[in-house]
Structure 1
Amino acid sequence: MKKKDNVDLLLIEEMREEEPSWTDYDMDETSVKVQLTDTVFDMLLNDTISSLRRIETRLT
């Protein structure tokens, strides 16, 4: 049992050392923000283009 206890302790210690990398969401957060920004910008750009085309059609 002693050897098993040591292995368990070692594994627990390794998990504690690695845990911060599992719960670090900074890169994910940045990625989502960039995707959202790109999507909103694309929507605004498409809406502006559509509006300008409607205006152009009315003027001609």
Structure 2
Amino acid sequence: MAYKINDACISCGACEAECPVGAISAGDDRYVIDESSCIDCGACANVCPVDAPQPE
């Protein structure tokens, strides 16, 4: 199960810097996770100040 970033994202970039496989990138209005690259490690969720990354 991959993670997905919800509307709470404030585009701080903490998740992108923490992702060990580079599955997170900046989108138009928030960061997005490439579901095919996500290894479901939860590293992004652990550093997010607003709990935007959530398991899908």
Shorter-chain TM-score range: under 0.3
Pick 1 or 2: higher relative contact order, CA cutoff 8 A, min separation 6: 2
Higher helix share: 1
Q: TM-score normalized by structure 1?
A: 0.17
- Pair member with larger Rg: 1
